[in-house]
Amino acid sequence: MLDVVIANGMAVLPSGAETADIGVVGGRIMAIGAPGSLAAIGAGRTVDASGQIVIPGGIDPHVHCRWPIVVPGTTQHQMTDGPARVSEAALHGGTTTILDFALVADGDNVQQAIERRQKEWAGDCHCDYAFHTMVQGKLPHELLPQLAEAVQAGHPSVKIFTTDITPSRKGRMVDFGDIWEVLKVLAQAGGIAAIHAEDNDLVMHMYEKLTREDRTGFENMAEVHTTLSEDLAFNRVIRLAANVEGAALYMMHTSAATGVNAIAAARANGVPIYGETLHQYLMYTAEDYKRPNGQIYHTYPSLKFQADHDALWKATDHGAIQTIATDEICCPLRIKLQGRRIDDTTGGNAGVEPRVSLIYTETVEKRGYGLSDFVGLVSANAAKIMGLYPCKGALAVGSDADVVVLDPRRRRIVRATEMHEADYSPWEDRDLAVWPSLVMLRGKIAVDNGIFSGDLKDGQFLSRKVPEEIRSRPAV
């Protein structure tokens, strides 16, 4: 007997979308059959998904939970919302796996940093999760073998900044010599580098210039975090990686046409490189900084211009962009608005909840993308690149039963008051063409017609391994 059957839905399988029944036993997908075939066998519960779209649970490869935000004008920090709240919102919106970061702070050992983060999250996350290891500053030589050990222990992605981002965040940047060494280690051990690439010289030059000209309002952010900076930094990182046999790159929050072009050119040359963009870069431009509470659209590097927006969209259609993430920072509007300058405005956004439905609306409904392409952008591609596939990111026999049923009859307008994240949403008033009627995490129904039954004990840490295929050529 099957535990659950999701019957008659338009199921987005790895082979394409077709009407099918999906049978679940013990947290896994046990069978996929013709419409009505599994429902006829009988199950503990049969969900009729007629007229609805059935997809693998969303994967957000870039979120920050319980993350310190500097209080402007001080050296103090406020913490953003933790995994409990973010994961509840994620599940409501159809995301069942989130990837956050384990920061290796000064004096830390990599293993201790990861274990600390794991301890902090155990029993405090409703959905499944993993961490990118984040290194920063001058890297002590002892760190390199620790990174190799971490990759082999199931933490294959390492986040690196090529810039301090703002003058107040000094200490983030890793110099090119150290990046070179990390790339060599990752290539050897089977990892992938997740890069925040901006040209630090140009960024800091523009901070000085705008400060001198007394133009420090955040609406000038795109003049500091420029398309040229993305051009220089992306190409510099790519040239470095292309000279390390086996080095693979995941370019985080690509924001500009220059970044897209750099990734596309490298992919054409066979470099194993993948592009992530953020939903705000696809939906807003630097013009939106001028709107009331314009900070709510901001995340670093910065919103750019119409040409960038167009290039990013084009790249989501089998081009340089494989994943659409949120760069989630869940905090109240009051905190999101407290910085008003180019050097103190908070990055990140609330958005993990509407992401899947928003991207469905923008890709399938507005741009005519196929369902498989939509699923690639919100789930399957991240699973493949980050070493979770096909356990995650696939409706396939043997995969975890992370199943989301998207209902076109639940078309809705985004209202922050009806979401489960922050008290604001950068997506307020947006029309969503679908909304989940059912969200299942490893066979357990977490959200049923809007009713949440997730538990903080449900979320599991995911050990990952990036396949050779992903690390040897642009395979997604």
In three-state secondary structure terms, 147 is helix
Give the binding range for Zn ion (CB under 5 A) out of 187-195, 240-248, 324-332, 463-471.
324-332
Residue 120 burial by Cβ neighbours in a 10 Å radius (0-12, 13-18, 19+): middle
For residue 454, the tally of other CB atoms under 10 A from its CB is 22
Q: Which residues contact 178 (CB under 8 A, 6 or more apart)?
A: 138, 139
C-alpha to C-alpha distance for 287 and 79, rounded to whole angstroms: 29
Q: Estimate the share of the chain in helix, then strand, then coil, as percent rounded to the nearest 5.
A: 35, 25, 40
In whole angstroms, the minimum distance from the beta carbon of 45 to Zn ion comes to 38
Q: Does 198 bind Zn ion (CB under 5 A)?
A: no
In whole angstroms, the minimum distance from the beta carbon of 62 to Zn ion comes to 6
Q: What angle do CA 56, 62, 66 make, to 5 degrees?
A: 115
Q: Does 421 bind Zn ion (CB under 5 A)?
A: no
Q: Which residue's CB is nearer to Zn ion, number 231 or number 327? A: 327
C-alpha to C-alpha distance for 436 and 440, rounded to whole angstroms: 10
Q: Does 60 bind Zn ion (CB under 5 A)?
A: no
Number of DSSP helices (H) and strands (E) in the chain, helices first: 17, 23
Q: Does 276 bind Zn ion (CB under 5 A)?
A: no
Contacting residue, 219, 230, 308, 327, with Zn ion by CB under 5 A? 327
Q: Does 128 bind Zn ion (CB under 5 A)?
A: no
- CA neighbours within 13 Å on the CB side: how many for 420? 19
Cα dihedral 395, 398, 400, 403, rounded to 10, equals 30
Q: Which residue's CB is nearer to Zn ion, number 349 or number 379? A: 349
Q: Does 353 bind Zn ion (CB under 5 A)?
A: no
In whole angstroms, the minimum distance from the beta carbon of 340 to Zn ion comes to 21
With CB under 5 A, what is the number of residues at the site for Zn ion? 1
In whole angstroms, the minimum distance from the beta carbon of 300 to Zn ion comes to 8
In whole angstroms, the minimum distance from the beta carbon of 36 to Zn ion comes to 45
Give the binding range for Zn ion (CB under 5 A) out of 32-40, 210-218, 320-328, 456-464.
320-328
Q: Which residue's CB is nearer to Zn ion, number 276 or number 373? A: 276
Q: Which residue's CB is nearer to Zn ion, number 95 or number 361? A: 95
In whole angstroms, the minimum distance from the beta carbon of 217 to Zn ion comes to 23
In whole angstroms, the minimum distance from the beta carbon of 303 to Zn ion comes to 15
Binding site for Zn ion (CB under 5 A): 327
